A and B are shown apart, each in its own frame.
Chain A
Amino acid sequence: MSQIALSSVSKRYPGGHQALNGVSLAIEAGEMAFITGPSGAGKSTLLKLIAAIERPSAGSVVVNGQNVGTLRAQGIPFLRRNFGLVFQDHKLLFDRSVFDNVMLPLEITGFDRREGARRARAALDKVGLLHKEKARPITLSGGEQQRLCIARAIVHRPAILLADEPTGNLDAGYAADIGELFRDFNRVGVTVVLATHDMQLAARLQPRLIEIRSGRVHHD
């Protein structure tokens, strides 16, 4: 059974906009897949459906054998802990330090604080932000904020990494580094699903490419 399976998934937003229209695809555990396509095609929507941030209007989204669309509210937090989420708009907390932002996923799961601090620093080191651990996110550049978001997504060692435009604000050098980071994760068995426009990155990592156009799978 696939780790992530969508069958005939449609999503119509309350405003009436049809963001996805009959999407079926399956992603195996340990796979690396890039969701590509023009702006407004429905890439972010697809990731949100997988993470139970949005519910499908039709069809089913199944993750680890669980139907996400019909999951009880109490089950959603535990589903989400399987994921490392990198948001297109970062969703950083500006009233906490860089370090405390990265600690948040560990606090939520009641992780031991000392061991958690060690992991948080390791995650910050991986994205090259350890020297800024005491800074406030507002003082970081766009690219640094993006890397912080990645550090927060990987700190609890999730089984699945869902990243929405993780290299959008990065220069080529950092984008390549982050690409290597994702490849390392993928090598140790993490499923990596990226929504991206970055064809350079795709050329380097040679992932499975899923192209979406106007809410339909155009090419897989």
Chain B
Amino acid sequence: MTSWLAAHRRACTGTLARLLRAPLASLFNIAVIGTALALPLGFYVILANLQELARDYSPQPQLSVFLAPEATAAEARALGERLKARSGVSASRFVPRAEALETLKSRTGLDDIIAGLPGNPLPDAWVITAAGADAATLDALRGEFQQWPKVAEVHVDSEWARRLDQLLALGRHAVLLLATALAFALVAVTFNTIRLQILTQRDEIEVAKLIGATDGWIRRPFLYFGAITGAAGGGAAWLMIWGVLALFNDRLQPLASLYGLPLRLTHLNGSDSITLLFFAAALGWFGAWLSVRRHLGTYNPS
């Protein structure tokens, strides 16, 4: 067990030594991997921030239930009772058509045009607040109310929040696709780097095999190299995004204080950052593993 640990420690320090022996090449390699990872990471961070923003500013989950023009006052009252009795409705308010017209007038300043209309074109309405805010709940309520008698139309007032949600979901898919494509790139970069290393070290590999090295012993430093450059690339990506965010927040500050908005883009949290490093290390390891499997067999002396 201790000798196993010692062997791994030695492979690890050996890999670091090898990285330092060719500092420029290592740096370029890490930069390439870092850039490949920084792209999806950046998008992810922006999406996460937007999502946070959307959560903070999402309005009351309100529905406007517009009555049919021919509905009487009694029918409107009955509908109100039925709405209040429905579970999932936490508050309701009646907006008579006259009040709606007044609001329209005062808000839009279209007095002249409205005065020119033959009558009040607006219907009576119940504005209700739903207990749940998620899109599915609101949709279900809307569908149900739509079926009720004397209801002309039901409108979900927080529709925009839902659109944003859908947009964000689309964005998450795009990030996932991008991340997958660039994960392939990372694996390919590592694969090729290891291939070149195996080529330049084939004497060493041959001699080591001749004097009794196991395949595991020969593979280990390459696998470590893949994992360590992968993790270093992940770290580089993290730093790049950190720099961009710092710059952006700096620029955003005057604008944000002007509108009194707490606009500040935040980076990945601690556990997500660790996950990123592990993920990058795993991809590098995988690329190295593929390369070693493919290329080391070629140098079997027997």
Residues in chain A within 8 A of chain B (CB atoms): 51-55, 73-74, 76-81, 83, 85, 87, 91-95, 104-105, 107-110, 112-113, 152
Contact = CB atoms under 8 A, between A and B. Distances in A.
Interface string B279-302: 000000000000000000000111
A104 B203 contact: no
Interface in B158-209: 203-204, 206-209
B210 A91 contact: yes
A83 B215 CA distance: 18
Contacts of B302: 52-55, 73, 76
Given A53-B301, A110-B3, A110-B6, A77 B203 contact: no
B213 A108 contact: yes
Contacts of A92: 207
8 contacts: A53-B210, A73-B300, A78-B212, A80-B210, A85-B210, A94-B203, A104-B207, A108-B213
A105 B210 contact: no
Contacts of B3: 110
Contact of A110 (B7, B209, B300): B7
A106 B210 CA distance: 14
Contacts of B204: 93, 95
B208 A108 contact: yes
Given A54-B302, A77-B214, A93-B203, A104 B7 contact: no
A107 B211 contact: no
A77 B7 contact: no
Nearest to A52: B302
Contacts of A95: 204
B85 to A, nearest CB: 76
Interface string B208-233: 11111111010000000000000000
User: Chain B: interface residue count, which band?
Assistant: 20 to 34
A113 B302 CA distance: 30
A95 B21 CA distance: 12
A85 B208 CA distance: 12
A52 B302 CA distance: 7
B93 interface: no
B55 interface: no
Contacts of A53: 210, 301-302
A104 B208 contact: yes
A7 to B, nearest CB: 20
A179 to B, nearest CB: 23
A77 B212 CA distance: 4
A109 B217 CA distance: 9
A113 B3 CA distance: 11
B203 A109 contact: no
A91 B207 contact: yes
B10 interface: yes
B10 A107 contact: yes
Given A80-B212, A104-B207, A108-B213, 10 more contacts: A52-B302, A73-B300, A74-B214, A77-B209, A77-B212, A83-B212, A108-B208, A109-B212, A110-B7, A113-B10
A53 B211 CA distance: 10
A204 to B, nearest CB: 28
Interface in B238-295: none
A34 B3 CA distance: 38
Contacts of A51: 210
Contacts of B215: 73-74, 77
A23 B213 CA distance: 29
Nearest to B211: A105
Nearest to B4: A110
A93 B208 CA distance: 10
Given A93-B204, A107-B10, A110-B3, A80 B301 contact: no
A30 B6 CA distance: 34
A137 to B, nearest CB: 11
B10 A104 contact: no
A108 B208 CA distance: 7
Nearest to A79: B212
Nearest to A111: B3
Contacts of A74: 214-215
A147 to B, nearest CB: 17
By CB atoms of chain A within 10 A, which of B10, B213, B300 has the most?
B213
A110 B209 CA distance: 15
A198 B285 CA distance: 51
Contact of B211 (A54, A80, A110, A112): A80
A108 B217 contact: yes
Contacts of A108: 208, 211-214, 217
- 4 interchain residue pairs of minimum CB distance: A80-B212, A81-B212, A108-B213, A77-B214
